[in-house]
């Protein structure tokens, strides 16, 4: 299938798919049609793209996804690191959230009041 159909099936943009190919996450097979070479997004590539999309929605980095896909034996270590990153982000953002919860947004008239 062409990139447009693969993108629709995976919920990704064509630009994202091209990025994942550039980063080496996917390598769609090439097909020759009338002397020109075209990428053929086969079922295996589409399944891999769906996995990548799910991991990106969970905020895994490209490097983490590469490690997960290329070295499944490292998934426990990657996930442990991912969980630590999320915990640190939560710790960093918690005071901001608490402050934001104290503010009545309907009473704001300027950014200076935030």
- Residue in this structure with the two tokens 């993108």, named with its chain if needed: 7
Q: Flag whether pLDDT at 112 surpasses 80.
A: no
% of the chain beyond a pLDDT of 90:
81
Q: How confident is the model at residue 114 (pLDDT cuts 50, 70, 90)?
A: low
Q: How confident is the model at residue 109 (pLDDT cuts 50, 70, 90)?
A: confident
- Residue in this structure with the two tokens 């690191």, named with its chain if needed: 81
Higher pLDDT, 113 or 61: 61
Mean pLDDT score across all residues of the chain: 93
Angle between helices 14-22 and 43-57 (to 10 degrees): 100
Residue 12 CA to residue 52 CA, distance in Å, equals: 10
Contact yes or no for 3/39 (Cβ under 8 A):
yes
């Amino acid at each position: 299938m062409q990139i447009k159909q693969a993108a629709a099936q995976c919920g990704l943009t064509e630009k994202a798919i091209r990025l994942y190919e550039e980063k080496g996450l996917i390598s769609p097979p090439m097909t020759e049609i009338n002397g020109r070479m075209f990428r053929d997004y086969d079922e295996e590539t589409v399944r891999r793209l769906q996995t990548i999309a799910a991991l990106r929605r969970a905020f895994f980095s490209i490097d983490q996804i590469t490690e997960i896909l290329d070295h499944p034996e490292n998934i426990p270590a990657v996930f442990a690191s991912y969980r630590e990153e999320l915990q640190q982000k939560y710790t960093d953002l918690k005071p901001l959230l608490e402050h934001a919860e104290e503010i009545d947004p309907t009473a704001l008239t300027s950014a200076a009041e935030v």
